[in-house]
Amino acid sequence: MKKQITQAAMVIALGASVPGYTYAQAESKDTVQQSAKEIVPFEGQDQTWQNGSDRRSESVLQSKFFTGSFMFDGNYNYSFNNPIDNTVVGSTALARHNEMNVMFVGLGGDFNYKNARARVMLQLGNRSIVIPRNDYSPYHGQYNLHDALRYMSEANAGYHFKIGKVPVNVDAGLFMSYIGLNSYYQVENWEYQASFTSDNTPWFFNGMRIQIFPSTKLKIEPWIINGWQSYGMFNSMPGVGANITWCPNENVKLLTNDYYGSDAAMIPDRKRFHSDNSFLVRYFNRPESKGISKMAFSLTGDLGFEKGGGVNGFNDNDSTAGPAQYFVSGMIYNRVWFNKNKFAWTIGGGVMSNPGRYLVLYPTGQASPLPNPQDPTKTEGAYPFSANPGDQFKGWDCSTNFDWMPNQSLTVRLEYVHRSANVPYFAGRGGVTSQTGYTTTTLDPNWRPDLVKSEDKIIFAVLFRM
């Protein structure tokens, strides 16, 4: 019985679609006996403490062939800039200021039958609008992929193979991205407003992945995908990449995500490389303590660039090849749990430098700066945010929060965030919509979006999962 519980906990900690075992498989006596002949990914490790992971050790929505999942993410966000249009700029976690928001409602789960497997998670709420608006690949060709796919956060299917003792999963469809450490699902993260490193890197992939587990401590996962957080493909070349995760024991996790693709619309010669690397350590663990029960930190560093088609990677000295265009960022967080893990305090932040602004989230309400002047996304705003080769963007952020976690399903969070940029970027008092703050107002010819260089905000969030 002990082994069955351990496997079930592993599935929850890693996400049922990741290791290849559903909750139902982990609890099945026959499956446990059969899986003993092959490697069990991360067997015996408690990974519920990790930033970006499911913190539950058990699921209540499980049966022989299906393990269900329900998630709720609601927040109240107050910006001290107090924009008149109640609009948040430059965030994928938040949408509205000074209002209660239903950001995300997820419903779905994992299906399994004789090694055939599928995962479907439907999404409703503001994130179904906020995230797809940052993908411009649907404007390449016909059919509106935004509307067709925006209400699914995950939708994939495949097969679980065994090669000798090595488990291998082959899946195709829509997946969550690992780049940036943080999970797309806020209930799995230490902080609510992600640092620039996570907020400006992908939340989803669309394509194929192969997961290989050569040992109980190692995962190797190649990808062939449409592109960098894109439903479709910008040019004729797919994106390729891989995730490697190594957990030598349950207190340490190291991972690298690396990507190569062509993601500049109508510029096929421009190639992108990106490397994302994280190191997590739990350095104190006394789960039954009524004082400090656990302490851990996470450190992430990203390095990437675009080269060709008028830009020149890290080299800014060759005028014939164009200006430098790269991405360098880092973030660090420390988390302390109290009273048998019922409370937690997190503090951290990060920095980012992105000349060319090729990964900067365009300010809400502003048109995208794609090279085609007839680009249909220009209907989203009258005044494009510049992202020409050589345009500079540097930002830094810090945050702290306090969590109350009465059980494994509920997190109540209060968070303070400060963010700054070297150029006007965040919504100021005048907002980014119109002189009245409403989209129905005819724009005054003299009106311009009110962008400022910094913002401070308080976030209250209620996060539920079962």
Phi and psi at 132, nearest 5°, equal: -60, -25
**Does residue 29 contact residue 7 with C-beta atoms inside 8 Å?**
no
| E-state strands within 201-338 | 204-215, 218-225, 239-249, 252-261, 271-285, 292-308, 311-312, 326-338
Say if residue 369's pLDDT is above 80: no
Structural domains of the chain, with CATH:
71-465 (2.40.160.10)
- pLDDT digits 0-9 by tens, 54-89: 999 888 888 899 999 999 999 999 999 999 999 999
State the pLDDT at residue 13: 39
Average pLDDT over residues 145-154: 91
Pick from 344, 273, 76, 301: nearest CA to 198: 301
Residues 50 and 71: their CA atoms lie apart, in Å, by 19
When pLDDT is cut at 50, 70 and 90, the band that residue 298 belongs to is: very high
Look at the alpha carbons of 317, 265, 432, 104 in this order and tell me if their dihedral is positive or negative: negative
- pLDDT digits 0-9 by tens, 262-295: 999 889 999 999 999 999 999 999 999 999 999 9
When pLDDT is cut at 50, 70 and 90, the band that residue 178 belongs to is: confident
Contacts of 367 (CB under 8 A, 6+ apart): 375, 377, 378, 379, 380, 381, 382, 383, 384, 385
- pLDDT digits 0-9 by tens, 1-29: 333 334 444 444 344 444 344 444 444 44
Q: Percentage of residues in the chain with pLDDT exceeding 90?
A: 74
CA 433: distance to chain centroid? 27
Contacts of 394 (CB under 8 A, 6+ apart): 351, 352, 353, 354, 421, 422
Integer-rounded Cα radius of gyration of the chain: 22
Pick from 242, 199, 208: nearest CA to 226: 208
152-163 and 451-452 beta bridge pairing: unpaired
- pLDDT digits 0-9 by tens, 26-45: 444 444 445 558 999 999 99
Residues 90 and 96: their CA atoms lie apart, in Å, by 12
* Mean pLDDT, all residues of the chain: 89
Say if residue 321's pLDDT is above 60: yes
